[in-house]
Copies of this chain bind each other. A is one copy, B any other.
Amino acid sequence: MNTQDRFAQLEPALLEEINTHGIIKTFAMGDVIMRTGQYIKSTVLILEGMVKISRNDDEGSEFLMYYLQPGEACAISIICASKAETSQITATAMEDTTVLMIPIGFMDTWMSKYKSWYYFVLETYRSRFEELLVVIDNVAFRNMDERLQFYLKRHTAASQSNIIALSHQQIAEELNSSREVISRLLKKMEQRGMLKLHRNSIELLIS
């Protein structure tokens, strides 16, 4: 699928410019697209696949913030790119992923030149800000069982499948918990009929 279809809300002249100046890059599942401390010189738009944005502390612990889908942009890359600052997050390809990199130079020009770009950037900020609020809600007010449930639901929504192909260990890392805790909670949820456990995958039965 091409840029026009993914970003239909952008005006034609802008899409033209994006096609001319944007650099297309592809990443394989598991590839790190951006890592903590790296200098950001481009804004990233997702064309295909799925990207995980997470926070990592000094000891290597990870904490999932949100997923980016095709048609979305990485708010952090916009923020950092506009200041040429280092990012404080990690972006990982969850599937084979194609992105469009827009050199920061165009940000300013397009912002005043194309109303649709301005709205797109604002909407990106708004939606990511709200996602962060939900993340904070979860981690501040909810227990691990609720957070796990939320995580599974979000994962099925993002991948449009009720099968979550992850090991307990991987889930534990994204929630900054430990494998045993996740296994325990998943087992309880299975006993309550909420899901079915398989090796390397979880089948969600409720929606």
Identify the A interface with B (CB < 8 A). 55, 57, 61, 63, 65, 75-76, 79, 82-83, 88-89, 111-112, 115, 118, 122, 125-126, 128-130, 132-133, 135-137, 139-141, 176
Contact = CB atoms under 8 A, between A and B. Distances in A.
Given A133-B55, A133-B88, A140 B176 contact: yes
B133 A136 contact: no
| Copies of the polypeptide in the assembly | 2
Given A65-B136, A88-B133, A111-B111, 8 more contacts: A55-B137, A79-B130, A82-B122, A111-B118, A112-B115, A125-B125, A132-B136, A135-B136
Q: Is chain A's binding surface mostly helix, strand, loop or mixed?
A: helix
B140 A75 contact: no
Contacts of A136: 55, 63, 65, 132, 135-136, 139
B141 A140 contact: no
Contacts of A61: 141
Nearest to A57: B141
A125 B79 contact: yes
A84 to B, nearest CB: 12
A87 B176 CA distance: 29
A66 B130 CA distance: 15
Contacts of A76: 129
Contacts of A135: 136
Nearest to A124: B125
